Structure formats: structure tokens, C-alpha cells
Structure 1
Amino acid sequence: MSQEATPEERQKFIIETLEAKGRLNTSELSEHFQISEDTARRDLREMASAGLVQRVHGGALPVSPAGLPFVKRYRIANEEKVRLARCASQLISPGQLVIMDGGTTNLELARQLPRDLAATIVTNSPRIATETSEHPLLEVILLGGIFDKRSQMTLGAHVLSELALVRADLCFIGVHGIHPEVGLATAGLDEATIKKAMMNASAEVVALVTESKFGTSAAHKFAEVSDLDFIVAEDTVIARQFSEQVSKSTKLLFA
């Protein structure tokens, strides 16, 4: 490959390689275009700043679409989220205390809960709390804190202190990206801290994962994939390939 390749040509190659392979190492980019690794790192750094890739040590991963604002994210793969939510709702037993992290897929889960379910829902999502208000047998505990407009969740020290008092049977955690090597990641540091606390407060942890999130990452890692007890996903080639790369202790449930 000629050294005269433009930054735009290199960017096209990076995006196409990430779509095909799910990862690109700095050394691969350097060798392909016969450029220095410093130049390759600069290309990835600039693309990461533009939100086109997610940088990791030694290279880059596809960026998760979950980094978009809440309203825009809710419109992505909406029918898929409904199917995942219907499947995941069957994991909840009457009488359980369930933590529901904020996020668009978990909001759909709240909408799919049976009307006759008697359980306690703990959430940092005002939207989820509102959605479950029509369920007569659900007790809903809304965690108080600083309301983050981008994520539509309450965050901060107050949420953490309240979670320290909770011992939940089940936790539905939201992920922006899930990668067999990098783990579970989200866009904000405060979100990552809350998610980790939610998982620690629960006996079992479940993630509802749309196909576009497999093999992607985000800025802040908060757990390993092996920390999940269940992944609820659609039965696709990508999901099955992912299941072969992770610990057998994490079960995939196909919607």
C-alpha cells in the first residue's frame, strides 16, 4: 500500500476493518499503510475524538450506538428491545426485590412486566418509576440523586449510599458496550460507578443486549462479562459467536 494514502482513506479502512473483524490493532494499521505507529495512534485518537471508534490499549474497537442521547437511543432497534424485554420479564418471580438500571432497553422491560406481578422495583430511572405506576402490585423505590439529563438517570453519592442498604434478588443492568476481552462498558464515569454498585448489591445480574452492542465498547469499564449471570439477546450469528468466547458461567437466553 502506498505511503500516499490520505487520512480519509485510512479512516475508511479503519471503519471497514472494525465492521468486519471487531478490532484493529495499531500495529496492523501501521503495517497496512506503511506508516509509523505514532501516525496510526494519531488516526485512532482523532477518530475517537469524533466518536467514530473507541480506543483501547493497542488499538480500537467499534463504538457503541448507545452513546447517543436517550431519546435517540430509544428509537434504535425498538422492536428488538420489545422481544428482549418480553423474554427477560419471565426471569422475575413474585416477591422478589429487583434492581432496574436506567436505559432504553430496561425502560421497555418495565413496560412488559405483567400487570399482576407482585414485586419490589428499585431504580434510578424516573421514567421506569413512572412506567410501573400502572402496576397495582408493584412497590417502586426511586433512588434519589442528581438527575442526569443525558442518561435520564439519577447519579451521585446519594444513589450509592442508598444502594448500600439494598440486597436484591435480581439486577437488570444496562450496557453501552459488551466485549469478550474488554468487558462491560458505559459512557460516563458516574454511570459506571452506579452500575458496579447495583451489581454488587444483587444475587444475580442480567443484561439485555441488542445485537449492535456486541463487540463494542465505551469510555468506562465497570465489570467483566463473567460477572453477568444471564445475557438476554436475539438468536443471531453474532450472539452465538459471542457466547463461544465468554465464560460458561454466563448463560445466554435467546428471545
Structure 2
Amino acid sequence: MLKAERHAYLLQQLSKQGRLSAIDEAERLGISEDTLRRDLRELDMAGALQRVHGGAIPRPPVPASYADRRGDDRTRKVSLARVAASLVRDGQVFFLDGGTTALCIAESLPVNLRATVITNAPPIAAALIDHPGIDVYLAGGAVAKRSAVTVGTEATDFLRRFRADLGFIGVCALAADAGLTIPFAEEASTKRVMIEQARRVVALAGSDKLDIAYPYVVAPTTAITDLVTDHTATEERLAPYRLRGITIHRQR
């Protein structure tokens, strides 16, 4: 097989599987691992994929602004939010991280629920103002407008004052090996604190957020206890997360 044909095959496999194993693909193609890794390196340099330890994953998309994301794919986000909201029990304290799916969770909470929400997202606090049974605590600090969340030392110090039953974490990218990653460094610290201070950590990630990675690491995959995703995420793609002890909750 010519190099161009191998490259086309590898990109096709990546599109179908969501990730590539250098060992497995070298065996399938009947070539050395060194040759396969050279192919992946060339495809990475061309911007066609992203090399990771042991293989490759898709290159992540350029993140859209919060305003652009808010109306995008709302039906799926509402469906994911309902699955996530079903995990909340009366009397619990929980973090709601920023993001458009987290906002849908706030809007999906039952009107008879009694709970406490801690968030660093002004839109989420605003959505819960009229909820009769939910106490809301909003972290202050500088606002990252592209994500509509507060960031910085003031926000993280505030969040550390709480221990939560649940932490719902908005996900830009999640890969079994790379962990939970984001495109902007300034948002990492607040997410880390929520993860550290929550007994149960729920990652909110549609299938389009799985098996990709951005430059800034928030936490390893093992820090996550639960994953809420959609029905298009196949069992094959979810297997590495199950192997790491994560409970999967899939949209029906």
C-alpha cells in the first residue's frame, strides 16, 4: 500500500473509530510500528489528526463562543440535561459548572426539588432565581465572556468553601488517555476545584466531545465518576471509559 493510500485509510479508520492504536493499525496494515508512527507524525503536521501516546485522536475543533453555542443543537442538550438532572436527589448540594448543557440542567430541575447549587456561571444563577426550592451561590471574580463563567483566585477561593454531593462539569474534550482538557488555560482552575470538592464528578459530554484533546489538562479521566453522553456514542467508544471505572449514563 502506498503512503498516500495508508494516510487515507488511517483517516477513514479514525473517523469510524474515534481513535487509532499505533500497534493495532501497524498490524492490520502489515507494516512496522515505526512506519505507522511516521505516518501519524506526518498527518499530525498536516493538521489532519492529533498524535497522542500510543496512537492518534481527531484534532479538536476551534471552540465557538458561548452566544453561538447556546442555540446550537438545543434538542440534544436538553435531552442530555434531563439525564443529568435525574441524578440529583432532594437535599443535595451540587456544583453546576458553566456551559450550555449545564444551563439546560438548571432549566430541567424539578420545581419541587429542594437543593443547593453552587456555580461560577451567571446565566445559571439567573436561570434559578425563581426556583422556589433551590438556594443559589454564585462565585465572583472576572468574567470570561467567551464561556460566560467567572475565573481567577476570587472564584476558586469561593468554590473551596463548599463540599458538594455532585459536581456537574462542562466538557470541551474528554479522552480516555488525555483526560479532561480545555482550550483556554484560565478556566482550568475553577473546574479543578469543583472536581476536588465534589464527592461524585459528572462529566457532561456529547459524543462529539469524546476522544479529542485540547492543550490544557484539567484532570485525569480517573477523576471522573460518571459520564453523561448521547446515544450516538457506541459501546466500542465508551469501553475505555468503563474500564476506568466510570459509570455511563446515555441519552435514550
SS across alignment from 2:112: coil
In 1, the alpha carbon distance for the partners of 2:62 and 2:72 equals 9
- Partner residue in 1 for 2:110: 114
Deviations 1:181-223 (A, max 9, x none): 2111111112122211110011111112212112122221212
1:122 Cα shift? 0.6
Say whether the 8 Å CA contact 1:233–1:239 is kept in structure 2.
no
Where does residue 240 of structure 2 map in the other structure?
Answer: 245
Aligned residue number for residue 44 of structure 1: 44
Q: Deviations along 1:149-202, whole A, 9 cap, x unmatched?
A: 111111111111112211111100011111112111111112122211110011
Look up the match of 2:143.
Answer: 147
Q: Pick one of 67, 87, 112 that aligns with 2:83.
A: 87
1:152–1:41 distance in 2 versus 1, CA, 3 Å: same
Gaps of 5+ in 1: none
The residue that corresponds to 1:233 in the other structure is: 229
Tell me the matched-pair count: 244
Partners of 2:187 and 2:36 in 1: CA distance: 36
- Of 69, 92, 98, the residue aligned with 2:94 is 98
Q: How does 1:1-255 map to 2 (within 5 A)?
A: 16-23=12-19, 41=41, 44-45=44-45, 47=47, 53-54=49-50, 56=52, 60-65=56-61, 67-236=63-232, 238-246=233-241, 247=243, 249-255=245-251
Percent identical pairs in the alignment equals 33
1:116 is displaced (CA, Å) by 2.0
Q: Are 1:77 and 1:210, in contact at CA under 8 Å, matched by a contact in 2?
A: no
Q: Distance in 1 between matches of 2:227 and 2:45?
A: 31
Q: Distance in 2 between matches of 1:55 and 1:24?
A: 9
Distance 1:22 1:235, change over 3 A: closer
Please state how far the C-alpha of 1:127 moved relative to its aligned partner. 0.7
Specify the code of the residue in structure 1 equivalent to 2:230: E
Q: CA 1:151 to 1:77, structure 2 compared with 1: closer, same or farther past 3 Å? A: same
For structure 2, list consecutive stretches of 5 or more residues without a partner in the other structure: none
SS at match of 1:19: helix
**Cα 1:43–1:54, aligned 2, differ >3 Å: closer, same or farther?**
closer
TM-score by length of structure 1 reads 0.81
